[in-house]
Amino acid sequence: MSYVEIPGAKVPIRMWTDPASVEDVALQQLRNVATLPWIKGLAVMPDVHYGKGATVGSVIAMRGAVCPAAVGVDIGCGMSAVKTSLTANDLPGDLSRLRSRIEQAIPVGRGMHDEPVDPGQLYGFASAGWDDFWGRFDGVAEAVTFRHERAQKQIGTLGSGNHFVEICTDSTGSVWLMLHSGSRNIGKELAEHHIGVAQKLPHNQDLVDRDLAVFVADTPQMAAYRNDLFWAQEYAKYNRSIMMALLKDVVRKEFRKAKPTFEPEISAHHNYVAEERYDGMDLLVTRKGAIRAGSGDYGIIPGSMGTGSYIVKGLGNEKAFNSASHGAGRRMSRNAAKRRFTTKDLEEQTRGVECRKDSGVVDEIPGAYKPIEQVIDQQRDLVEVVAKLKQVVCVKG
């Protein structure tokens, strides 16, 4: 489908989904965003759903301002995927050992490494700029700097919620490695700190929703936020890169005889800010639950833990600010999913996938998400499909 346009106070709201399918609270959030004095455009992805301040699945372009809640609290959250030389025929019938090895190598949930991962010990990891990156930590907001050691030990860890590590196969039988994670606790603390700062600024006192508080250009508060934001985005990217290196190491050891090789990594943020130019204006574009899909840009759009995912290539649709969805998108809250589904439902919906099937991940059941095929179909003018993947192993936080 192409987009549907509905009226907004300052800008029209372009939606790559049927407005009738969007929950009322999310529609109100979109209308609230469209009232912001600095807004120049708003694009809504087919995975849109309610979030804090701004919906997940929204792309907001503003001039001279940025809204921290329109980035999301997991700054830099995103995906990485790598195609391997392995095929489905190389996989063992029992994948439980492979899942166990991955869980041993990559801490999940609130877990962290006992000692910080040494990137110099990771095969093929490009550690250029590593020391400079950590050297910039001293310039990050004092509200979180006492957690330096923890931040180092959390690099290369998965986290919880909808984060995952997967082994997948595509329609040709090729094996892929894929993972989803962000900036861990340090990014969340930075986001919450700056949202709190923004809410106290005079220019934000008359907004329709205090969670939409913004920083404006040429102010010390904006400079501090952008410094911490870009650092956290880089932290998230390093986190995924180290996890992928650890995952490759597991695969090399488990498939030693096959001598697996790996194609270049596809990596994409979906909670971040970028400086981009549209209609002759330099804008700050926030993508919260959305990926960049400029012409030729590779992206990853995952479904849920039992349905599969898509590798896509952007078509460069400027009406959507060169963006696409970041996944299937939830169709119910975590609490609603826990009330509606049981572990038996989880077992049935993840049949054929080596994964957790206990009450701790019922909120991640495929039935709690929108159908990924429908989400892909609604954005055919934003991306083209390169490969469809189906997970055979899924490690959840």
| 3-class SS string, 289-323 | CEEECCCCCEEEEECCCCCCEEEEEECCCHHHCCE
Q: Go through the chain and tell me how many residues it has.
A: 397
Using an 8 Å Cβ cutoff, are 86 and 251 in contact? yes
Using an 8 Å Cβ cutoff, are 75 and 232 in contact? yes
326 is catalytic: yes
Distance CA 349, CA 363 (A): 13
Show the tokens assigned to 179: 């993972």
Q: Which of 49, 194, 269, 326 is catalytic?
A: 326
Catalytic residue ranges: 326
